[in-house]
Amino acid sequence: MSQLRAFHYTGMRLPPIADENAAPGPRPPSREELLTEFPSLGEWTYANHAAVGPWPTTARRAVEAFAAANHAAGPASFPDWLANERSLHERYARLIGARGPDDISLLSNTTEGICLVANGLDWRPGDNLVTARGEFPTNRMAWEALAARGVSLREVDLRAGDDPEAALLNAMDERTRVLAVSSVQWNDGFRLRLGVLGHACRKAGVLFFVDAIQQLGALRIDVEADAVDCLAAGGHKWQLGPEGVALFFSRQEWRERLAPLQRGWRMLERPFQFDRPDRPEATDGRRFEAATPNTLGQFGLNAALSLQERYGQDWIEQRILDNTERLLAGLGNIPGVSVASDTRRERRSGIVTITPERVPERELARRLAAERIIVVGRGGQVRLSPHFYQGEEEIDRLLEGLEKFSK
């Protein structure tokens, strides 16, 4: 029986989100196209994508179309809602190199994915997990709470030696159940070599969990090549989507061992057969999608991610790394500013953090904001995170502002 047999809606249809197969292939955008997608280019230099990214025009239009259809006729376009949800599963699978959409779950945020792993495993007293020191609070709190179940947390300083991957792996032993890291560190952009960690974990039988919120949408990621077991990433930063929708990837062998945090109608194999006497649960990624989804957010995020396939992830990554290169070169010529990020090429990402030596960090951020240059200052440092749609002109304007206001 079709899941949609109960629905007889006709007439009201939503435009499909662009699919990679509908175009001849990825192509770099022109400056004019970028100005159309990101009109802030002409007004602002927004360098805070590591916090929340602005929506591209493509995402705004998708959200507007959904809102207009709902306003006009409620759920008359419900089949299109489901089609867009399936499309988002498929697009995420392509973007992260997963085997297929069955490995994808759509959650509300990164935190939900982290908690799913932390609370879904059958921990035993004496178990431990390994993570990096200085992780974002979200990627520490769920693990720290496991102390109540007799699980110890081992934190490794990534910057204490020349080989952070070896330091993380050396902290593991026969009672280690999980290695949990952010692929790119939130505060200074430090980037880990995921493949080194993932393949070592695979050999040791340790679950390798990655918080990819500061990488996905900026730099390529391949969960198969890097032997990632579970991954979470909210869509509102580098992916340029709305808040309230997140990717969760789980490899089948681990998905079967994770107990769902919630149970509800959406996690069933046949969720729309409400009067079915038996209720078998889905065995794919829908297993963790228990409740009514953020449909509006899914439309916006799917549209935003379509740019990844329209322009090509290779081009996007190179553009961001070129921005980082230009930033680092320019910062070396600004007195009163020192670079706090690791500048080795293999450690670079889209984030560059600086330490202003003459002006308090919040005051520097305030002065820049007055000139429509948006950064964030905290903890004595200023974090810079421009995106692919910005180029030499925007990076130079950012550098000029830093030189002007760092005196």
Domain ranges, ordered by start, for the chain: 83-310, 313-405
Architecture per CATH, 83-310: 3-Layer(aba) Sandwich (3.40)
Q: Pick the closest to residue 327 from 220, 252, 222, 403 (CA basis).
A: 403
Q: What is the mean pLDDT of the chain?
A: 93
- Positive or negative, the CA dihedral 300, 304, 309, 310 is positive
Detail the DSSP E strand segments found in 41-125: 45-46, 104-107
**What is the pLDDT at residue 6?**
37
**What is the pLDDT at residue 11?**
45
**What is the pLDDT at residue 241?**
98
For residue 319, pLDDT beyond 90: yes
For residue 236, pLDDT beyond 80: yes
Q: Give residue 19's pLDDT band: very low, low, confident or very high (50, 70, 90).
A: low
Mean pLDDT of 181-185: 98
Here the tokens at position 190 are 């430090």
User: Cβ distance 81 to 295 under 8 Å?
Assistant: yes
Task: Let me know if 135 is exposed, middle or buried by CB neighbors in 10 A (0-12, 13-18, 19+).
Answer: buried
For residue 46, pLDDT beyond 70: yes
DSSP-derived letter for residue 48 is B
The tens digit of pLDDT for each residue in 390-407 reads 999 999 999 999 999 988
One-letter amino acid at 268 equals L
CA angle in degrees (0–180, nearest 5) for 183-189-319: 95
Backbone angles phi, psi at 284, to 5 degrees: -90, -160
- CATH code of the domain made up of 313-405: 3.90.1150.10
Q: Is the pTM of this model over 0.85?
A: yes
Alpha carbon of residue 298 to chain centroid: 14
CA dist 90 and 382 (Å) reads 37
Q: Give residue 4's pLDDT band: very low, low, confident or very high (50, 70, 90).
A: very low
Mean pLDDT of 146-173: 97
Q: Pick the closest to residue 211 from 118, 120, 311, 323 (CA basis).
A: 118
**What is the pLDDT at residue 20?**
44
CA angle in degrees (0–180, nearest 5) for 136-138-143: 105
Q: Which residues contact 59 (CB under 8 A, 6 or more apart)?
A: 240, 241, 242, 300, 301, 303, 304
User: Cβ distance 131 to 139 under 8 Å?
Assistant: yes
Q: Pick the closest to residue 258 from 138, 109, 103 (CA basis).
A: 103
For residue 32, pLDDT beyond 80: yes
